[in-house]
């Protein structure tokens, strides 16, 4: 069982940080946010998956389960490292300050990283070269395949691997050797980008931990079909002879969608993975725990049973529950890595079997206050919270709390909320924050949108919506919003401040 002190934190993905290059990055804005968290009594910074995004820009559909997103690399830190010059950034366009325009920022960042790589090749700085080689050697489990995958993808004008010529698509030895020779410089360039990301992120993590801030990461249960993971290990997925998925992942009809959610991810051949000792999963968890202190496993219930949808079905309606790997996977990970610093995202259709799997390993689950207001027996209501849970006002898939209250809550629910709280509601955001803070749950997390008391325009993701997600950002001035004072006050009032925790509370040491 992982030890979590009574504490609180904020959910904010790094892409939403302020900065002048069109997207949040791992530079000064990230360090200022860590300082802001510390100054306002917070102990946790929760982020979304950190991988390189593709079409749709979703951090839950990435090109790799191991790699980092190069767009998060701080260009200013590259200037400090001598890999860029200040003059190289003089042509920075007037990017929007309140949103990420991916179509604009991606080519800009790519151009600057190409330039930084050229400077790296020309640089006499032996320390950089040595660090780079050490990273490459330590990351071979995933980095070689990923770098070749991205180089091939660029050669094929970013088309999915399923559309490549058969030799590359089927990973025939001669074709891969020829590609590795022809694309050697591009491959090294992709390794270089990953070194930069991991170098900058590791430094940020060290700084955050030194300030008493623990990082909560996010691990999607499934991976994207157009990813280095599926391309490199096709035998571990349900694919046809060409490489197309036979069945895909999703969830049945639920709160978010009357036809369910058809995510489209290929499904694992769990028997094949089990026969290999779950090696890929062990490596995946181990790699992420070098970047974060705790891992929120998205769609945890899929390990007990997952929703299998025939690939030719247009929606998730006509699917079926199929048994997952269950406890055998977590026993293998635990045996290899020790205690599991894992948080189970146990939302959706949760059965006694899912709860039993979660509780067998004493994993904290999630309680989302926006889902609480049906009746007094609702497990998300604070009086029903166990100690071993993480409480949220909302998640990245929810509307902001203010947007939820203004647009999604009917009169009956409003009445129940008012009755439960015992007073009229003048500010729903801080009413919910107060309820969450005083919960028995060990950890309370508040999305930054709620700290800033923003409405639906600040929503980060709407499940089932094809475009317009993942773009929200904060401006530098947002860190001076009066919400910070409310956050600090409630953190102290309900004894979640680090200064209020006894030394014997059993705070886990940061991983990595």
Active site residues per annotation: 298, 345, 397
64, 229 contact by CB (below 8 A): yes
CA distance 316 to 454: 32
CA distance 369 to 75: 38
What are the DSSP calls for 456-492, one per residue? Answer: GGG----TT--SS-S-B---GGGGGSTHHHHHHHHHH
CA distance 369 to 17: 25
Longest dimension (CA), the chain: 72
Q: Please, what is the end-to-end C-alpha distance for the chain in angstroms? A: 18
Query: Strand locations in 109-199, DSSP E?
Result: none
348 DSSP assignment? S
Strands 342-344 vs 294-298: parallel, antiparallel or unpaired: parallel
| C-alpha Rg value of the chain to the nearest Å | 23
Total residue count of the chain as it appears in this document: 512
473, 71 contact by CB (below 8 A): no
Helix axes 327-337, 279-289, angle to 10 degrees: 50
288, 382 contact by CB (below 8 A): no
Using DSSP's 3-state secondary structure scheme, residue 263 falls into: strand
CA distance 171 to 160: 14
Residue 305 host element (H or E): strand 305-310
- 215-to-12, 48, 104, 280 alpha-carbon distances in Å: 11, 11, 29, 23
Angle ∠(331,297,458) on CA atoms, nearest 5: 175
Note the Cα 438 to chain centre separation in Å: 27
To the nearest 10°, report the CA torsion of 215, 216, 222, 226.
-30
């Amino acid at each position: 069982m992982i030890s979590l002190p009574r504490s609180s934190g904020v959910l904010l993905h790094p892409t939403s940080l302020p900065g002048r290059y069109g997207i949040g990055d791992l530079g000064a804005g990230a360090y200022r946010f860590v300082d802001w968290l510390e100054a306002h009594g917070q102990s946790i910074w929760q982020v979304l998956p950190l991988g390189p995004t593709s079409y749709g820009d979703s951090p839950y559909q990435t090109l790799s389960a191991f790699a980092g997103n190069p767009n998060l690399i701080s260009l200013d830190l590259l200037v400090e490292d001598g890999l860029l010059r200040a003059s190289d950034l003089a042509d920075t366009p007037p990017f929007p300050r309140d949103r990420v325009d991916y179509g604009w920022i991606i080519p800009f960042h790519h151009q600057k990283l190409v330039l930084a790589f050229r400077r790296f090749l020309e640089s006499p700085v032996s320390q950089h070269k040595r660090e780079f080689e050490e990273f490459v050697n330590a990351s071979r489990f995933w980095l070689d395949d990923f770098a070749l995958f991205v180089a091939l993808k660029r050669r094929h004008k970013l088309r999915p691997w399923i559309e490549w010529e058969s030799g590359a698509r089927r990973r025939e030895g001669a074709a891969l050797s020829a590609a590795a020779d022809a694309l050697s410089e591009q491959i090294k360039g992709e390794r270089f980008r990953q070194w930069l990301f991991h170098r900058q992120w590791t430094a940020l993590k060290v700084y955050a931990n030194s300030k008493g801030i623990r990082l909560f990461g996010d691990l999607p249960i499934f991976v994207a079909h157009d990813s280095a993971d599926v391309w490199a290990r096709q035998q571990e997925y349900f694919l046809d002879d060409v490489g197309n998925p036979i069945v895909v992942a999703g969830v049945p009809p639920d709160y978010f969608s009357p036809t369910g959610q058809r995510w489209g991810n290929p499904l694992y051949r769990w028997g094949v993975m089990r026969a290999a000792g779950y090696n890929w999963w062990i490596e995946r968890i181990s790699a992420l725990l070098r970047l974060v202190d705790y891992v929120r496993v998205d769609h945890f219930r899929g390990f007990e049973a997952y929703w299998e949808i025939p690939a030719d079905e247009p929606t998730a309606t006509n699917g079926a529950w199929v048994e997952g790997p269950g406890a055998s996977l977590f026993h293998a990970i635990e045996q290899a890595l020790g205690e599991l610093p894992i948080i189970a995202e146990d939302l959706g259709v949760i059965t006694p079997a899912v709860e039993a799997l979660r509780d067998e390993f004493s994993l904290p689950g999630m309680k989302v206050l926006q889902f609480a207001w049906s009746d007094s027996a609702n497990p998300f209501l604070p009086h029903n919270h166990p100690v071993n849970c993480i409480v949220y006002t909302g998640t990245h898939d929810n509307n902001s709390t203010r947007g939820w209250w203004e647009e999604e809550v009917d009169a009956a629910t409003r009445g129940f909320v008012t009755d439960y709280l015992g007073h009229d509601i003048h500010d729903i955001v801080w009413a919910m924050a107060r309820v969450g803070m005083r919960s028995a749950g060990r950890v309370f997390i508040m999305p930054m949108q709620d700290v800033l008391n923003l409405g639906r325009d600040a929503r980060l993701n709407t499940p089932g919506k094809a475009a317009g997600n993942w773009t929200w950002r904060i401006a530098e001035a947002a860190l001076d919003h009066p919400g910070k004072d409310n956050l600090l006050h409630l953190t102290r009032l309900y004894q979640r401040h680090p200064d209020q925790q006894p030394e014997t509370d059993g705070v886990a040491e940061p991983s990595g």
